Each structure stands twice: as structure tokens, then as C-alpha cells.
């Protein structure tokens, strides 16, 4: 790879990271759960693509980058599902303790 291609690729990566960070930071809290579902879907696509890149592995450089992409995509996907699960648990109603039956010993005398 020439240095121009590497510099261009790093510039695109840094620009995408900045735009992604700024767009996520400004989203209202109400929209985070649907956004996480979309992000999990995109992470799954990135994981499949990185597995394909790793499988082709024409050079050692491509294999190393493919392995890093598989690890990063897997961590992102699993973390996204964990966070989504926690957020959805916040909206579930809490279970209440059952009330004692009338005329039982626990009732008021």
C-alpha cells in the first residue's frame, strides 16, 4: 500500500469517528433504545464483513486487520446487546409483594 492510500484511509476513519461521536452525543435519551437496535444491526453486518476479510487473507497485513476487525466488531455487538437489555429492563414494571388475605394472622386486629 502506498502512503497516500493509508493517509486517505486514516482521514476517512477519523472523519467518520468524529461525525459518529457528534451525532450520538446529541440524541435525546428517549431515542437511545431504538438507536442501539440499529447500531447492533450495523455491528452484525460489520462482523460478517470482517470475517469475510479475515477468511480471504491475501496478505499478513490483511489477516491482522481482519482479526482486529472481528474482535472489535464482536465486542461492539455483545456490548450493544447488553446495554439494550439493561435499558429495556428499566421500562419493565416492578413486581409488587402480594397483599395478605383478609382474616389472616398477618392482618390488622
pLDDT tens per residue across span 17-28: 888 777 777 766
Domain-located, residue 103: no
Segments forming the whole domain that contains residue 12:
3-90
Report yes or no on 107 lying in a domain.
no
In order of 23, 43, 44, 79, the CA distances from 19 in angstroms are 6, 17, 21, 21
Q: Is 49 within a domain?
A: yes
**64 part of a folded domain:** yes
Q: Is residue 108 part of a domain?
A: no
Residue 95 lies in a domain: no
Number of domains in the chain: 1
pLDDT tens per residue, range 30-74: 666 666 667 777 778 888 888 887 888 788 888 888 888 889 888
- The verdict on residue 23 lying in a domain is yes
What is the pLDDT confidence band of residue 107, given thresholds at 50, 70 and 90? low
Does any domain span residue 102? Answer: no
Sequence-separated contacts (24+) of 14-20 with Cβ below 8 Å: none
pLDDT value at 5 more than 60:
yes
Q: Is the pTM of this model over 0.95?
A: no
The pLDDT of residue 88 is above 80: no
Amino acid at each position: 500500500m502506498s502512503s497516500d492510500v493509508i493517509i486517505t484511509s486514516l482521514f476517512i476513519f477519523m472523519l467518520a469517528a468524529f461525525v459518529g461521536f457528534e451525532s450520538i452525543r446529541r440524541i435525546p435519551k428517549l431515542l437511545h433504545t431504538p438507536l442501539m437496535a440499529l447500531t447492533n444491526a450495523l455491528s452484525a453486518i460489520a462482523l460478517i464483513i470482517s470475517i469475510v476479510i479475515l477468511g480471504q487473507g491475501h496478505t499478513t497485513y490483511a489477516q491482522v486487520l481482519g482479526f482486529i476487525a472481528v474482535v472489535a466488531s464482536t465486542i461492539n455487538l455483545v456490548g450493544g446487546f447488553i446495554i439494550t437489555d439493561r435499558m429495556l429492563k428499566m421500562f419493565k414494571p416492578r413486581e409488587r409483594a402480594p397483599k395478605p388475605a383478609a382474616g389472616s394472622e398477618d392482618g390488622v386486629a
